Each structure stands twice: as structure tokens, then as C-alpha cells.
Amino acid sequence: MSDIRFLDQIKEAEAMANARLEDARLEIDERKKKAREDSDAMVANAWSEAERKHSDIVAHAESQYRKLLSDAAKEDYTSSLDDKVVKRLASKLSERIVELIGRR
């Protein structure tokens, strides 16, 4: 009779162990899900912050560009530069503007 009781205790212990394993698996799954959600939120916030900073930089660059144009309109610099230099500078300036706008 004690052998049957011993076997019953073993089965009961195995059932308890299996239940604990299942509980642990469920807890791990919940923790993984929360970690995924937290990391997704962090990545989304980082992208949002990067976009905001980029917009600020572009807005600042555009402001400086407008100021340069305004200052250049007030004075006549073309008389001191030859046409090749002016065309080369204008080309570089347009490339830079296109590059900045392309990053938006």
C-alpha cells in the first residue's frame, strides 16, 4: 500500500511541477510581450525626436539661406566675381539645397 501512496505522491509532485512550469512559461511570455511593446515605443519616440531635430535643423538652414539671399540682394557682389565663379557657386548652392530638401 505504501508503494501506491508513494506513486501517488510522485504523480502529484509531477503535476505540481508541470503547473509551475506552465505558469512560468506564461509569465515569461507576458514579460516578452511587455518588453517588445516597451522597445517599440522607445523606437517610435526616437524616430519622432529625430524627425523633430531634423525639421529644426532644416528650418534653421532655410532661415540662414533666406538671410544670405536678403544680404546678397542689398549689395552687388557680381561685379567682383567672374561668371565662371558665380556659376560654380550657384551650382554648389543648388546642390546643397536639393540635398537638404531631400532629407525631409
Domain boundaries, the chain: 2-102
Residue environment code for 3-12, b if the CB has 16+ CB neighbours within 10 A, otherwise e: eeeeeeeeee
Tens of pLDDT, residues 8-46: 999 999 999 999 999 999 999 999 999 999 999 999 999
pTM of the model: 0.53
Tens of pLDDT, residues 48-92: 999 999 999 888 888 888 888 787 777 765 566 777 887 888 888
Residue environment code for 65-104, b if the CB has 16+ CB neighbours within 10 A, otherwise e: eeeeeeeeeeeeeeeeeeeeeeeeeeeeeeeeeeeeeeee
Contacting residues for 61 by C-beta, under 8 A, at least 6 apart:
100
Query: For residue 9, what is its C-alpha cell?
Result: 505522491
